[in-house]
Amino acid sequence: MDLNSDLNRADRAQRELYARWLDIATQVGFVVSLVAFLVYVGRVLPAYVPLEELPRYWSLPVHKFIEATGAPSGWAWLGDLGYGDGLNLAGIALLGLVTPVCYVRLLAALIAEHDWLQAGLALAQVVVLIAAASGAVA
């Protein structure tokens, strides 16, 4: 066994781990998004912005849409999960969490393997994604 062979095997294992988690998380996110959309269009839950009124607002810039509908902005949408359209945002947010979740899983494996450089890069990526999602850098 040579060092290059061991490194290639470790790299392949890391890629496969990331790919497995990416596949599972994407499928879960898709199913949740699909169910949320069906709940919305099926009117199982009331809509914050009624479905029949939505075309009126499609052409508006975001700040005008918020003004016209009173829709929440930033993280305030979390308070509207009881609405069908709020539930759709949760599905989209879940899809946005796929990459950080995969990096966190990979980070744990990298730390267990004592691959400090790759672990540091994965941690930096997670920190950047969390900072961006928090709105702290906006």
- Total domains in the chain come to 1
Is pTM, for the whole model, over 0.85?
Answer: no
* Signed CA dihedral, 52, 58, 59, 63: sign only: positive
Task: Please name the amino acid found at residue 58.
Answer: W
pLDDT at 39: 93
The boundaries of the domain holding residue 78 are 3-134
Buried b (16+ CB within 10 A) or exposed e, 47-62: bbbeeeeeeeeeeeee
pLDDT at 57: 92
pLDDT at 6: 58
Q: Which residues in the chain come in under a pLDDT of 50?
A: none
